[in-house]
Structure 1
Amino acid sequence: MCRNATPAELELVHKEDDVTTILVDDDKWDELASDTPQGAYSRKPIMTLCFAMFANSVALTNVFPYAGFMILHYGLTEDETRVGFYAGYLMTSFMAGRLLSSFYCGALSDRIGRKAVIRIGLWSCLVFSIGFGFSPTFAIALSMRLCMGLFNGLTGVAKAAIPEIVPKGPEQQTAMGYVAGMWNAGMVVGPAAGGVLAERPVNSLFRRYPYALPNIFAAGLALLALCVIEAWLPGKTSYAKISDEDKDEEEPAPRRACARAPRTSWLPIGVYCFLSTFSIFYEDCYPLWLLTPRDEGGMGMAVDEIGAVLSATAVFTVAYQFLIFPFISERMPSHILFPTSAGLSAVLMPVAVVIARMKPGAATTWAALIAHNIVYRCAVSNAYTACFCTINNSCATNARGAVNGFAMSVASAFKAVGPSMGASMYAYGLDKAPNGGVGVLAVFGGVGAALGVTALVACKYMGAEYDTPLD
């Protein structure tokens, strides 16, 4: 059952000169209106989206620290320096699936509501994480990751929902920072959990499937997130606007993905694609670098030591997002926050090689490694947050799901290239320059330079007009 919203209710969702009617579930309007007085917003839906993004990120990234060991387990190669040629495909398969479905998931959320699509995405994390953990062959593992991406439109839809929950202004960037920050926290907790839980032969089942435990953990988080969204996330039946000239018919939605993305969205979507490519390139190479022997420019760590580094990073990253980032968000608009944060991330990428030259096992070495990873993670999180805000501000409310879905589809194509290219180039660099870390420096320095160019382009062409919503 649907009804016409009151003027006060319309103010809570979005405001356009030609909007007179919006369709919303009656049983959810009372909850939304009571929790969200004018000029404020409910924290419950934001925290729900945060947890859903966190669970999704953990399911995606827990494979990072043990991907190389998984390749050895399947017997694809016995040479540790060549595992990168195969490990990248595990991430690429997920991104390939998301490439095929993200636009359609976003457009579907404009029609049936954000909650339904988020629910489907979490179920894909739950079911296919378990399938991946218990995969007996590399081919089945790849198919599980592909299916997880194919049914997972959660990320783009969650970002599209933020402006419909939070009022315009700095609060919207702060809320987006919470959601993006929890995704980034998941990108730390996921690999940390993978490093700690993988290869734990607690019984005969986990000796046979040594990488099932981290995926069971990810599936459990997805199940908990499903329970939370059922309780706290409002559901809307439509986000389409109805004009004064034609109140009986909705605007026909363009069928082509490109047609749903206005020209104003092309620049932030492009910037997002390059940020995604270079950051995931580095994210995929980083655990391989921790695994690489010291005489070849790496840290020479075991899988549990990798998990310890990433776990220590996770604690501060989450604290930063909730305690420090709101202070930054209030003082730095998106068009300044992105190039500043992306530029800092670019500088930090090759610095990792310097840490590998420090004394092995020393407290100062561990402190430098963790501090470097913390600052990098926080900077990348800031860059993603600013980028997400500019994409939302570049389009109208009724197209936001489709635009974010299109952005995710295009970015997934870039992300699908990133891990395979990163792991392959890393393995190639070690093969050609194995001694002294020259190959590692060339790879990390190259990707840092590419991200730096992206930051400069954004600084020049992405101006203050992207700091305020289009409608």
Structure 2
Amino acid sequence: MEDFGDQPLLKKQYYHENCPGCKVDEAKELKKDFTFRNVFNIWMVVLCATLPVASLFPYLYFLVKDFNIAETEEDISTYAGYVGSAFMVGRALTSILWGMLADRFGRKPVVIIGIFSVVIFNTLFGVCTSFWMAIMMRLLLGALNGLLGTMKAYSSEIFREEYHAFGQSMFAAAWGVGLAFGPALGGYFAQPVQKYPNIFSRNSFWDKFPYFLPCFIVSAMALAVAISCIWLPETLHNHKVSTEKNEALENGTKEPDKNKMLQKDESLLRNWPLMSSIIVYCVFAIHDIAFIEIFSLWSVSPQRLGGLNFETNDVGNVLSVSGIAIIIFQLGIYQLVQKICGPIVLARIVGVLSIPILQSFPFMTMLSGFTLNISIYSAAILKNLFMEIISTGLYILQNKAVDQHQRGVANGICITAMSACKIIGPAAGGAILTWSQKRMHASFLPGPHVVFFGLNVVEVLALLLTFKPFLTERKTPS
């Protein structure tokens, strides 16, 4: 008998010659999908989506201060929250549309358009001279950026089923590293004339636009990634795909179960495993984005307002070390721990551990020197790492809840809902921080203590929602 090797003969005949999605499926069938190239693609594209969001936080306080729009120093955090929220407003308005386009025309064109929007509008943000110009650039950057939802779908499609958790952990790791290294990049390269006077001279372009350099670095990286995406493998099929029908033919049966086919086209809004995981993710998202902005603003605030009086470099150092910790954990440990505990149980464990860590931050203003450095680095590393563990588990649930032909829209709905919630996070966080700094001598939760307590309230609510009957997982057919 002729030996056909490891390739299943029946499956091979369903690969369409000119279909990019079939080429990806064939690579998975031949176990050629687990490559450095695929991991690198996910990382680079997600970083292009994340760095513009996070890189402004260390210098946002000073940017708004330079606009001279705040009446008092305490009001700066409120206006900073508006700038941080503008990106999320734009993304909330268009994410479902980008998801529909990704399901209709493919993941690749949406990714390329999104990266070029970063190149253009992130660069323009660096030369903003007014508060309203900054708001408009961030709004357009968010509206034309369909990267996150598309790449969440892509990272679950480019690998075989046994590596779906790995794909989602790579997405979450890249997102987490972007949220950590983005502020580090902004902290190191904002106001270069003050930090590096031997390289950047006064009264030069860099002095007139002190926040352009970090924007330019991100945009330059995005341009290189956009060019490299010409060779990005497309995972979407360009022909009609009926998974149940193919399985039926391969198994020798006549017709697929019509009830199963109907379930595939069921409204996503009635898909409770999807919607419940999105709702839980959104509550955590409010907490996460509020924490990221509050941490940066609180760190650079003067000590008389309950802050640490850090420089932007100091914030960058703390968050860059957190990014390294996220990389090590997601690449080396997450898969093993997730297999033992499961994504939801693991999320609950780290969520509970986050509560005392979060409430410890305002007490660090009583420390100094080496003790302060050890405390702030340890707490920031653990807090940022725990946020990414929770996000990864929810990403896994969301992508398991739908089939490929609905995955772009499903992730678009998720990003829309998450962005809408993240509008609340920076705006509310900035406003509450401003209010807290006006009550430094209150008898109950004075100053920033009330801000971190409020973050913990949101964290506890999100944890409660991870339990049944609210959060449910999609039952896979046996």
Q: Same fold (TM over 0.5)?
A: yes
* Aligned residue number for residue 392 of structure 1: 399
- Tell me, yes or no, if structure 1 residue 350 matches structure 2 residue 343: no
Cα distance in 2 between the residues matched to 1:233 and 1:39: 13
Correspondence for 1:339: 348
Alignment check: 8 A CA contact 1:107 1:401 kept? yes
Q: Distance in 1 between matches of 2:36 and 2:91?
A: 29
- CA deviation digits over 1:130-180, x for unaligned, max 9? 0100112221111111011101111111111222222223x2112211111
Aligned residue runs from structure 1 range 43-122, under 5 A: 43-77=36-70, 79-122=72-115
Task: Identify the match of residue 443 of structure 1 among 448, 451, 456.
Answer: 451
- Tell me how far apart the structure 2 counterparts of residues 281 and 10 of structure 1 sit (CA, whole Å): 52
1:452 corresponds to: 460
Shift of 1:255: 12
Residue 371 of structure 1 corresponds to which residue in structure 2?
Answer: 378
Alpha-carbon distance, 1:124 to partner: 1.1
What TM-score, normalized to structure 1? Answer: 0.87
Contact 2:287 2:458 in 1 (8 A): yes
Cα distance, 1:166–1:255 mapped onto 2, change above 3 Å: closer
Distance 1:9 1:114 in 2: 29
Query: Unaligned 5+ residue runs, structure 1?
Result: 1-6, 13-19
Distance in structure 2 (CA, Å) of the matches to 1:303 and 1:24: 53
Q: Which runs of 5+ in 2 are unaligned?
A: 1-6, 194-199, 246-254
Question: C-alpha offsets along residues 207-262 of structure 1, whole Å, 9 cap, x if unaligned?
Answer: 1111000100111221222233323433534485347579xxxx99x999x75662
Aligned to 1:186: 178
CA distance in structure 2 between the aligned counterparts of 1:452 and 1:187, rounded to whole angstroms: 22
Paired-residue identity, %: 23
Q: Which string of whole-angstrom CA distances, capped at 9 and with x for unpartnered residues, describes residues 31-53 of structure 1?
A: 76347624963442232012211
Distance 1:35 1:22, change over 3 A: closer
Point out the more displaced range, 26-35 or 320-329. Answer: 26-35
Letter in 2 for 1:236: L
Distance change >3 Å, CA 41–CA 312, structure 1 → 2: closer
1:271–1:454 CA contact under 8 A, matched in 2: yes
8 Å Cα contact 1:174-1:329 kept in structure 2: no
1:22 Cα deviation (Å)?
Answer: 7.5
Write out per-residue CA displacement over residues 79-109 of structure 1, whole angstroms, 9 at most, x where no aligned residue: 3322111001112111010011000111111
- The structure that has the greater radius of gyration is 2
Displacement after TM superposition at 1:456 (Å):
2.1
The separation in 1 between residues aligned to 2:97 and 2:52, in whole angstroms, is 22
The CA deviation at 1:463 is: 6.3
Q: Does the C-alpha gap of structure 1 residues 309 and 80 become closer, same or farther in structure 2, counting only changes over 3 Å?
A: farther
Structure-2 residue corresponding to 1:172: 164
Give the TM-score normalised by structure 2.
0.86
Equivalenced residue count is: 450
* Shift in alpha-carbon separation, 1:469–1:302, aligned structure 2, 3 A: farther
Matched residues in 1 for 2:299 and 2:10: separation?
Answer: 52
Amino acid at match of 2:226: L
For 1:237-276, what aligned pairs fall within 5 Å after superposition?
Answer: 237-238=237-238, 241-242=241-242, 244=245, 259=268, 262-276=271-285
Distance verdict in 2 for CA 1:298–1:162, change over 3 Å: same
Residue identity opposite 2:231 in structure 1: A
Verify the 8 A CA contact 2:20 2:238 in the aligned structure 1: no
Structure 2 CA distance for partners of 1:221 and 1:11, relative to 1, 3 Å: farther
In 2, Cα distance between equivalents of 1:417 and 1:294: 27
Match of 2:303 among 280, 294, 299: 294
Distance, in Å, in 2 between the alignment partners of 1:321 and 1:66 is 28
Give me the whole-angstrom Cα distance separating, in 2, the residues matched to 1:148 and 1:321: 28
In structure 1, distance between residues paired with 2:151 and 2:234: 12
Deviations 1:369-421 (A, max 9, x none): 11111111111000000011111111222111111101111111111111001
Report the CA distance shift for 1:8/1:198 in structure 2 as closer, same or farther (over 3 A). farther
